[in-house]
Structure 1
Amino acid sequence: MNDSHDRPTSAPETRNVSEVQEEAGRLSSAILGIIDLRGEVSKPGPGVSLCGERDPDRFYSVRHAWSLGKVPVADMKKGMERLKEELPGKGWKIVRYGPDSSPSKSLEMVADATEKNFSVSVRLLDRTKRPKPGAPAALISVDLTSGCFQVPKGKTVDAY
């Protein structure tokens, strides 16, 4: 996503941290709804991150990383296909879809919602052929990240 992380001279949109975190939660919920699988979803919610080299008291980004497991791999592949088909109708542009560069060639999708200033990377990790002790056999890993935002005047980012 071409966001303001890379352009320190541009002024990011001004928004309250809690609003962006709520939007990240809604976007993640919508992604889970499109995947449409019932399994085990990791619990942590959206968190606040630094925004590149910008003043950490005024500028921030939001990240929501979560995963879905305990679902058959064949169903996970169908969930990934649903994402590829349905996200564009919900304001997302698919940037990449296919095997990633890892040795396992995991199925990966990257999509941007430029109007919302968010990007998502979704990866299907399939370890059924080479299981790791203690690790799930397969899972869908989701990493939703916003671009830079700044807090309203008189406020500071206090959620790192």
Structure 2
Amino acid sequence: MEQNRLSEYWSILDFANRGYLGSLSQFVREYATPIQIQRDQHVVQRFKRVTAPFLLRRLKSDKAIISDLPDKSEQDQFCTLTKVQTALYESVVQEGLRTIAGESDTFRRQGLVLQMMLALKQICNHPALYLKGGQVDAAASGKAERFLELLEDIHASHEKVLVFTQFREMGDLLCR
């Protein structure tokens, strides 16, 4: 908190939850000035209580922040690409290598390699992610099928799950 001015905190929170901390002038009068200039500890405590539900950063080691989550558990899960994924993957690799080989500028070549890697990651998640449409069925992706199998097991045992994905569009696809 001390690294940033409180008005920046107000701006972020107002964007996410408009009006929660009042107008900017009201916030400066009730919180920013007493905390930053007067160093009023009572106002600091009130500010902490009011903003406690909204965490902008948390440390994994701080159990008080989110006590209902167990320690992080990782298990590698292996799945096979579907035939459609395999064909699309191979096509992108071959076309990408041809394009990269034909480029003499080193900087552009590096950009093309990164672009190809991104495309391959998307294909491995789900062909519709790379194609920006098409069949959204889980059966089109070995990874999506395995993910749904894991979710069924978690649901059957009445456990909780927190899912992260590199691509927002993949999250949308999984929701469908």
Q: Calculate the TM-score normalised by the size of structure 2.
A: 0.20
Structure number with greater CO (CA < 8 Å, separation at least 6) is 1
- Larger radius of gyration, structure 1 or 2? 2
- Say which structure is richer in helix: 2
More strand by percentage: 1
